[in-house]
Structure 1
Amino acid sequence: MHTRSKGIDFDDLQMAHDYGAVRAYADTKLANVYFTRGLAVRWPEVVSYAVHPGGVRTELGGGGELRGPAGWGWWLVSRLMRSPGSGAGPVVRLASEAVGAASGAYFDRFEERTLEGVAADDGSVGRLWEVSGELVGDLRL
């Protein structure tokens, strides 16, 4: 899903001027990738991976609140998604097995993928850490 992001607007993190639900979700997934990459640099003794588990049937999309054709469409699409247990599979594997990938790597389900486009932007990785530090304060990590 991070591939749908055109890049995080660090000057409007709250999306006060240009909000879109899909964009917000895609940007948070991109932030997960950036955070993972930054963590790998800052804490090299900790192995960190970003993982996209695929479409997982959860209540996140708000499909339960939809009525009529939109609700039926959501119901149909959700049947094609993985169960939460199946969606957890890639995360459990990465947390429990020696994978052999470099810390900071990205996985699409069980396959390591090369980051491209905005996800490969080293400057944005650093900027996310900088802005995050400003927002949460000095945690002395």
Structure 2
Amino acid sequence: MSHVLVTGSSDGIGRETARQLLAGGHEVTGHARNAARADELRAALPGVRGVVVGDLASLSETRALAEQAAAAGPVDAVIHNAGIGGGEPTRVETADGLERIFQVNVVAPYLLTALLPRPERLVYLTSGLQEDGVAELDDLQYAARPWHGMQAYSDSKLHDVVLAFAVARLWPDVLSTTVDPGWIKTKLGGPDAWDEVDEGAATQVWLATSDDAGARVTGEYLKRHEVQVPNPLARDIAVQDGLLDRLAALTGVTLPR
């Protein structure tokens, strides 16, 4: 039995991930953006061990979330599921002065990775759109480039792969992987999506808990339990180190080496 923290687990793929983990006999600490959504999660999945609360669009709330999760006891795995899509018609900044997609999809999982006690396994959700992502390290937040919401989303999903691979390289004692869940029928996926939510959760549940040889990989990008070929930028050590340096500067927190 494993204890797994799942971010963004109040609905969609995250909730289904938590449900599958519970059905497999594992312990789950869920996460919700606010107290109301935490209550919804507890009602939907009364078997959860606990729910930590924090808005990932806020640096202070993300730090507080890390403190709550650490206090809830050690976890064997963290599934960084939470994220937002690329439907923003204009560039939006959070109260921290950071572009919102970048903050939620990239800064938050970096900060949680750096602040939480090191688990045995880390799983980061990405998207097939990581293939279209670019790594403009000197303009990660579209401060200078013309705004394009879906490109910003694609970039963020590439950055998640870069982060997962960087952690795999720097933390050889941790299995760090990234998963494309597919185009899933959720609020984020939209009405035209064709993959069912159970399919979108199964691979990360397997990676977080299974002792199968295929699940005990690190520094890999998977979909439907199979290793895929990532955007080649993700394996570029200069890109990895450059992203980590910029995230450390933005957050004031350096990933422990």
TM-score, structure 1 normalization: 0.77
In the aligned structure 1, how far is the partner of 2:219 from the partner of 2:175?
Answer: 7
Match of 2:224 among 99, 109, 125: 109
Does the 8 Å CA contact 1:2/1:119 hold for their aligned counterparts? no
Query: What is the match of residue 69 of structure 1?
Result: none
Report which of the two has the higher share of helix.
Answer: 1
In the aligned structure 1, how far is the partner of 2:160 from the partner of 2:174?
Answer: 16
Query: What is the match of residue 82 of structure 1?
Result: 196
The yes-or-no answer on 1:97 pairing with 2:210 is yes
**CA pair 117-47 structure 1, distance change in 2 beyond 3 A:** closer
Query: What is the match of residue 52 of structure 1?
Result: 180
In the aligned structure 2, how far is the partner of 1:31 from the partner of 1:116?
Answer: 10
Query: What is the match of residue 48 of structure 2?
Result: none
Q: Which runs of 5+ in 1 are unaligned?
A: 64-74
Query: What is the match of residue 41 of structure 1?
Result: 169
Using CA pairs below 8 Å that are at least 6 residues apart, which structure has the higher relative contact order? 1
| Paired residues, number | 125
Helix, strand or coil at the partner of 2:138: coil
Does the 8 Å CA contact 1:47/1:103 hold for their aligned counterparts? yes
Does the 8 Å CA contact 2:199/2:224 hold for their aligned counterparts? no
Helix, strand or coil at the partner of 2:140: coil
Query: What is the match of residue 66 of structure 1?
Result: none
In the aligned structure 2, how far is the partner of 1:97 from the partner of 1:139?
Answer: 30
Does the 8 Å CA contact 1:51/1:91 hold for their aligned counterparts? yes
CA root-mean-square deviation: 2.0
Greater CA drift, 114-123 or 45-54: 114-123
Report which of the two has the higher share of strand.
Answer: 2
TM-score, structure 2 normalization: 0.45
In the aligned structure 2, how far is the partner of 1:131 from the partner of 1:139?
Answer: 10
Give the counterpart letter for 2:201 in structure 1: A
| Aligned sequence identity (%) | 30
CA positional deviation for 1:94: 0.7
Give the counterpart letter for 1:94 in structure 2: L
CA positional deviation for 1:133: 0.8
CA positional deviation for 1:128: 0.9
**CA pair 94-21 structure 1, distance change in 2 beyond 3 A:** same
Match of 1:8 among 122, 127, 135: 135
Per-residue CA deviations over 1:105-138 (Å, capped at 9, x if unaligned) read 1112211123353233221111111111111113
Per-residue CA deviations over 1:62-119 (Å, capped at 9, x if unaligned) read x5xxxxxxxxxxx3x13x2322x32111110111113435411111221112335323
Q: Which runs of 5+ in 2 are unaligned?
A: 1-128
**CA pair 87-34 structure 1, distance change in 2 beyond 3 A:** same
